[in-house]
Amino acid sequence: MTDHLLRELAPQVLGAIVRRYGDFSSAEDAVQEALVAAAAQWPARGVPDNPRGWLIHVAGRRMADHLRTELARRRRETAVVMEQADERVVAAPDAIDPVVEDDTLILLFMCCHPALTHGSAIALTLRAVGGLTTAEIANAYLVPEATMAQRISRAKASIKKSGVRFRMPTADDRDAQLGAVLHVLYLIFNEGYASSIGPSLARVDLSSEAIRLARAVHHLLPDDEEVAGLVALMILTDARRSARTGPDGELIPLDEQDRTRWDREAIAEGVALISRTLMRGAVGAYQLQAAIAAVHDEAARAEDTDWPQILALYSVWKRMTDNPMVTLSHAIAAAMVHGPATGLDLLKPLDGDPRIAGHYRLDAVRGHLYELSGDHAAAVSHYRAAAGRTTSIPERNYLIHRAARLAHPA
CA dist 326 and 315 (Å) reads 9
CATH at residue 410: 1.25.40
Structurally, how many domains does the chain consist of?
2
pLDDT in tens, the chain (410 residues): 567 777 778 888 888 888 777 777 788 888 888 888 888 888 888 888 888 888 888 888 887 777 666 665 554 444 444 444 444 444 344 444 444 346 788 888 888 877 788 778 888 888 888 777 788 788 767 678 899 988 888 888 888 787 777 777 778 878 888 988 999 899 889 988 988 877 888 888 788 888 988 998 999 899 999 999 999 999 999 999 999 999 988 999 999 999 999 999 999 999 999 999 998 878 999 999 999 999 999 999 999 999 999 999 999 999 999 999 999 999 999 999 999 999 999 999 999 999 999 899 999 999 999 999 999 999 999 999 999 999 899 999 999 999 999 998 86
Q: What is the DSSP string of 330-360?
A: HHHHHHHHH-HHHHHHHHGGGGG-TTTTT-H
**Among candidate residues 62, 79, 95, the one where a domain is terminated:** 95
- 206 domain-assigned: no
Residue type at position 27: A
Residue 106 included in any domain:
no
Q: Which of 159, 156, 174, 171 is nearest to 109 (CA)?
A: 174
CA-derived radius of gyration, the chain: 24
> Is 89 within 8 Å of 62 (Cβ atoms)?
no
Query: Are the CB atoms for 332 and 368 separated by under 8 Å?
Result: yes
In a domain, 123, yes or no: no
Instruction: Give the chain's end-to-end CA distance (angstroms, integer).
Output: 42
Q: Please tell me the distance from the alpha carbon of residue 227 to that of residue 177, in angstroms, as a whole number.
A: 13
Residues β-bridged to residue 245:
251
The conformation of residue 169, written as its DSSP 8-state character, comes to P
In a domain, 370, yes or no: yes
Percent share of the chain, pLDDT over 90: 45
**Dihedral, CA of residue 194, residue 124, residue 360 and residue 182, to nearest 10:** 60
Among the three residues 95, 126, 142, which one is the final residue of a domain in this structure?
A: 95
Q: Could you tell me if residue 25 is inside a domain?
A: yes
Tell whether 396 is covered by a domain.
Answer: yes
User: How many other CB atoms are there within 10 angstroms of residue 255's CB atom?
Assistant: 11
Residues 158-181 have pLDDT tens digits of 887 877 777 777 788 788 889 889
What range defines the domain where residue 17 resides?
Answer: 2-95
Boundary residue ending a domain (50, 75, 95): 95
pLDDT of residue 206: 82
Hey, which residues does 198 pair with through a beta bridge? 392
Q: Is residue 182 part of a domain?
A: no
Residue 183 CA neighbour count, 13 Å, CB half: 14
Residue 406 lies in a domain: yes
pLDDT on residue 65: 74
Length reported for the chain: 410
Which distant-in-sequence residues (6+ apart) come within 8 Å of 352 by Cβ?
A: none
Q: pLDDT tens, 251-281?
A: 999 999 999 999 999 999 999 999 999 988 7
